[in-house]
């Protein structure tokens, strides 16, 4: 199955819709089976790799993704992360929003990052935050299950990262009053994320997923998406090695023509999108989706999951994916049914 997925990602014709994921899909059952505590997996490469492999080992779903949270890049820029040590199965959060009061403050910081001084070399840059730790975990994951599964490296989209590290109220004001400054910041973040994604590929990831939840046209509107998020996504995708998957959330049915312009090799959509319309609009990209991670995979039974898989296949998806990161308490039996 790994080879079939790699062929699909390379653009070869596959006569079946494969099931895997490039988004976070660890489960409580998997963590418990491996004797892992979730918050510890974010700061220990060995535990992170074991957690990522656990879903495959219990369900057979032929994929594993790292990192296990969305905040690695925000942390590298200086954000303090709350790993939720007192919460058994909850994802990390940025401890305090608004690290940078303005996009100009962010631009000043990011233009002085060590990696910019020597293009193509990220040795100093990798020392920031957990980026090196994630790379080490990918190498361990590759050694463990790399012959059986595809390994995804995940980065946030530029706009999503911007939301994580700037004062949101000021950002919205700046988008209106100083749009060029916002655009400049987003392009700097694109370069930053491209280096991270390239490092993940060098460590052994087979593909990169750009998870631009906050930058979805469903959330910021088609006009703002076209003006700000789209150019930054295109710049990031151009810099990353293939294959590249863009994942967006929300009902983007009316903005599919914009997503088609990103240059992504595949687009992952969620359960709110009309897949038939998406199939027609995304002629040059693979279509992944769109099982509801909450209503179907978490709250539903195996029969409901099986029905959702059939609907996705009938709509013409190239791969059956969850529409977003899995709820960590999702039952392994439901993930098995995805296959």
At the topology level of CATH, where does 2-338 sit?
A: TIM Barrel (3.20.20)
**CA pair distance 140, 129, nearest whole angstrom:** 19
123: confidence class by pLDDT, cuts 50, 70, 90:
low
Q: pLDDT confidence of 296, banded at 50, 70, 90?
A: very high
3-state secondary structure (DSSP) of residue 81: strand
Cα–Cα dist 162/215, whole Å: 9
pLDDT more than 90, % of the chain = 90
* 166: confidence class by pLDDT, cuts 50, 70, 90: very high
Can you give the C-alpha Rg of the chain in angstroms? 19
Q: Reduced to 3 states, what is the DSSP secondary structure of residue 196?
A: helix
* Domain assignments of the chain as residue spans, ordered by start: 2-338
d(CA 226, CA 329): 36
Mean pLDDT of 320-339: 97
Give me the pLDDT at residue 109, please: 84
- Residue 297 contacts residue 328 (beta carbons within 8 Å): no
Asked if the model's pLDDT at residue 235 lies above 90, the reply is: yes
Per-residue pLDDT, 129: 87
Least confident of 119-133, 267-281, 290-304: 119-133
Q: What is the pLDDT of residue 116?
A: 45
What is the pTM (predicted TM-score) of this model? 0.95
Is pLDDT at 87 greater than 90 in this prediction? no
Q: What is the mean pLDDT of residues 34-60?
A: 98
The stretch 157-161 carries a mean pLDDT of 98
Q: Which two tokens stand for residue 241?
A: 């090695």
Q: 304: pLDDT confidence band, cut at 50, 70 and 90?
A: very high
- pLDDT value of residue 51: 98
Containing H/E element for 245?
A: strand 244-247
């Amino acid at each position: 199955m790994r080879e079939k997925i790699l062929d699909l990602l390379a653009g070869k014709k596959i006569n079946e819709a494969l099931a895997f994921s490039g988004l976070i899909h660890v489960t409580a059952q998997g963590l418990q089976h491996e004797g892992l505590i979730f918050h510890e997996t974010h700061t220990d490469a060995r535990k992170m790799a074991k957690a990522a492999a656990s879903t495959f080992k219990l369900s057979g779903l032929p994929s594993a993704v790292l990192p296990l949270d969305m905040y690695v890049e925000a942390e590298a820029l200086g954000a303090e992360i709350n790993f939720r040590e007192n919460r058994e199965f909850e994802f990390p959060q940025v401890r305090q929003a608004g690290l940078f009061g303005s996009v100009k403050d962010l631009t000043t910081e990011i233009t002085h990052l060590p990696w910019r001084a020597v293009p193509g070399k990220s040795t100093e840059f990798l020392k920031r935050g957990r980026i090196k730790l994630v790379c080490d975990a990918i190498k361990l994951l590759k050694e463990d299950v790399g012959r059986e599964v595809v390994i995804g490296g995940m980065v946030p989209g530029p706009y999503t990262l911007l939301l994580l590290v700037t004062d949101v109220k000021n950002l919205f004001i700046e988008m209106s009053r100083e749009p060029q400054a916002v655009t400049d910041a987003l392009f700097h973040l694109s370069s930053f994320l491209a280096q991270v994604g390239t490092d993940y590929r060098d460590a052994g990831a087979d593909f990169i997923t750009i998870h631009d939840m906050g930058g979805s046209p469903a959330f910021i509107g088609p006009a703002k998406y076209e003006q700000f998020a789209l150019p930054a996504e295109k710049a990031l995708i151009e810099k990353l090695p293939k294959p590249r998957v863009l994942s967006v959330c929300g009902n983007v049915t009316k903005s599919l023509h914009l997503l088609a312009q990103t240059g992504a090799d595949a687009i992952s959509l969620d359960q709110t999108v009309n897949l038939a319309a998406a199939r027609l609009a995304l002629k040059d990209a693979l279509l992944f989706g769109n099982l509801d991670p909450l209503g179907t995979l978490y709250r539903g039974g195996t029969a409901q999951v099986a029905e959702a898989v059939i609907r996705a296949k009938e709509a013409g998806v190239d791969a059956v994916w969850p529409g977003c990161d899995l709820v960590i308490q999702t039952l392994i039996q439901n993930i098995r049914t995805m296959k």
